[in-house]
């Protein structure tokens, strides 16, 4: 049986705000690339160097640019794209920035509500605006950590990173089969961003594992296991960039380990 999909919900970051933030994240990656050895290992992506990560992000950006420009109805494999990247690393940061600027300009020119291919349930341009901001932000942190730096994710973006991941997991089961293991008999996982208490942003999530998948909601409800930390750390935990040992965990740690092993994209 397929993983249960949650009820669609509004995005925390409106599309036009997301594009401004995306442009900023792209500039930060380009700046870091200009100051970092291309052979620097990326701890979050075992086996990758900075050069590998830049290649990956640039391919994803160019693929999205091409699809949104044409309002594509089918997927383009990013591995099939000829990036035409500079042979000399010194030219890569400026090239990466140009590619990113082209992506942002293409997304700005498109109607967020225009229908097109998307691998998630929301098959519109806005899917790609959200996806590009969140994926680029996670990879910006990857580069910063590799360079010995780490700056916080914008809180609204961090909230949306968690929301989007929970929305996307059912669709991602087609290429991440282990996601189908996210099921149970009513076990619950509670995520709590302690620095958002009293904020206008939502900071709590309840995930319920059921026989045919999972459902989730934003709720202040005790779970079989609770994870507490800043919204920055929770967003990174959701993407496998933080271990449960780096956050406050109360309750069934084996349940949390099961979730982590099968949910990270």
d(CA 263, CA 261): 6
Beta bridge mates, 171: none
Q: What is the mean pLDDT of the chain?
A: 94
| pLDDT (tens digit per residue) in 198-243 | 999 999 999 999 999 999 999 888 999 999 999 999 999 999 999 9
pLDDT grade for 2, boundaries at 50, 70 and 90: very low
Domains of the chain: 15-151 (1.20.120.450), 156-263 (3.30.1050.10)
So what's the pLDDT on residue 6?
A: 54
Strands 248-251 and 225-229: antiparallel
How do residues 73-103 score in pLDDT, each as one tens digit?
999 988 888 898 999 999 999 999 999 999 9
Contact 39, 200 (CB under 8 A): no
Dig out the tokens for 184 from the structure: 């149970």
Q: What angle do CA 7, 165, 168 make, to 5 degrees?
A: 60
Inter-axis angle of helices 125-146 and 50-70, nearest 10: 170
Q: How many other β-carbons are positioned within 10 Å of the β-carbon of residue 259?
A: 22
């Amino acid at each position: 049986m397929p993983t249960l999909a949650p009820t669609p919900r509004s995005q925390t970051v409106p599309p036009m705000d997301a594009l401004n933030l995306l442009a900023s994240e792209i500039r930060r990656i380009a700046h870091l690339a200009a100051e970092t050895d291309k052979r620097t290992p990326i701890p979050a992506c075992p086996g990758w160097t900075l050069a590998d990560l830049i290649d990956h992000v640039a391919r994803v950006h160019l693929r999205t640019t091409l699809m949104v420009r044409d309002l594509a109805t089918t997927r383009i494999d990013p591995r099939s794209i000829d990036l035409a990247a500079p042979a000399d690393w010194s030219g890569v940061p400026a090239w990466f920035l140009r590619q990113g600027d082209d992506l942002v300009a293409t997304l700005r020119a498109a109607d967020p509500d225009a229908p097109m291919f998307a691998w998630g349930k929301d098959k519109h341009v806005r899917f790609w605006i959200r996806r590009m901001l969140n994926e680029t932000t996670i990879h910006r942190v990857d580069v910063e950590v590799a360079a010995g730096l780490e700056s916080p994710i914008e809180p609204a973006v961090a909230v949306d990173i968690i929301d989007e991941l929970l929305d996307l997991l059912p669709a991602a089961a087609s290429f991440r089969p282990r996601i189908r293991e996210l099921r149970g008999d009513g076990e619950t996982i509670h995520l709590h961003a302690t620095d958002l208490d009293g904020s206008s942003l939502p900071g709590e999530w309840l995930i319920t594992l059921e026989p045919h998948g999972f459902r989730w909601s934003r709720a202040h409800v005790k779970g079989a296991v609770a994870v507490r930390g800043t919204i920055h750390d929770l967003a990174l935990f959701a993407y496998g960039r933080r271990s449960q040992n780096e956050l406050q965990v109360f309750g069934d740690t084996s349940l949390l380990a099961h979730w982590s092993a099968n949910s990270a994209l």
